[in-house]
A and B are shown apart, each in its own frame.
Chain A
Amino acid sequence: AQSVTQPDIHITVSEGASLELRCNYSYGATPYLFWYVQSPGQGLQLLLKYFSGDTLVQGIKGFEAEFKRSQSSFNLRKPSVHWSDAAEYFCAVGLAGGFKTIFGAGTRLFVKA
């Protein structure tokens, strides 16, 4: 069955430090992959997406993600975290041929000064 796993429920990083949020998926075909961010009390906003082509994709707010087919992973990275990046991050997989998107459980990012 299709699934998305975000192994880390929460992560704490210092402001200015680098960040990597992990995402693994299980899906038989080529996936459509997304990262969304949710600020407290808000809906989700798309950070970036991967459909095909270059496996390193750039998103908004300085985020990037790399698709690794051999590892079934789509990890999100940022070289230098800002306090405003504190939020919950969701990895998602769009299922081909339909309208369903599967979301991971989310990783909550805390940023310490």
Chain B
Amino acid sequence: NAGVTQTPKFQVLKTGQSMTLQCAQDMNHNSMYWYRQDPGMGLRLIYYSASEGTTDKGEVPNGYNVSRLNKREFSLRLESAAPSQTSVYFCASNGGGHDTEAFFGQGTRLTVV
């Protein structure tokens, strides 16, 4: 039972490079989320997808784009990485809405130099 799978687990980028973080869930969840975690700031929502075919901005969307490829997969793209995007990124999913438990992937530790 895989749950939420993120790839890669670690990545180092040079400023200006692009990359895509992949996320897949096998729980048939409607909603998926991308968060970033920075020391002392908790988790901040970057983008979310309430259901297949929809995406919306969260608290800190600048510098990111997302694609809900199908019900299982939700990717996060950094078009031109900046040092300020150095962070740990988490993908999460749930059945939909604010009142259901979110299941998290193990995270991607991204360093931009």
Contact = CB atoms under 8 A, between A and B. Distances in A.
B44 to A, nearest CB: 8
A92 B44 CA distance: 11
A55 B104 CA distance: 26
Contacts of B98: 32, 94-101
Interface residues of B, number: 27
Interface in A73-113: 90, 94-101, 103-106
Nearest to A96: B98
Contacts of B105: 43
B106 interface: yes
> Which among A95, A97, A101 has the highest number of chain B CB atoms within 10 Å?
A101
B43 interface: yes
Interface of B: 4, 31, 33, 35, 40-45, 48, 50, 56, 58-59, 90, 92, 96-99, 101-102, 104-107
Interface of A: 4, 9, 32, 34, 41-46, 49, 51, 90, 94-101, 103-106
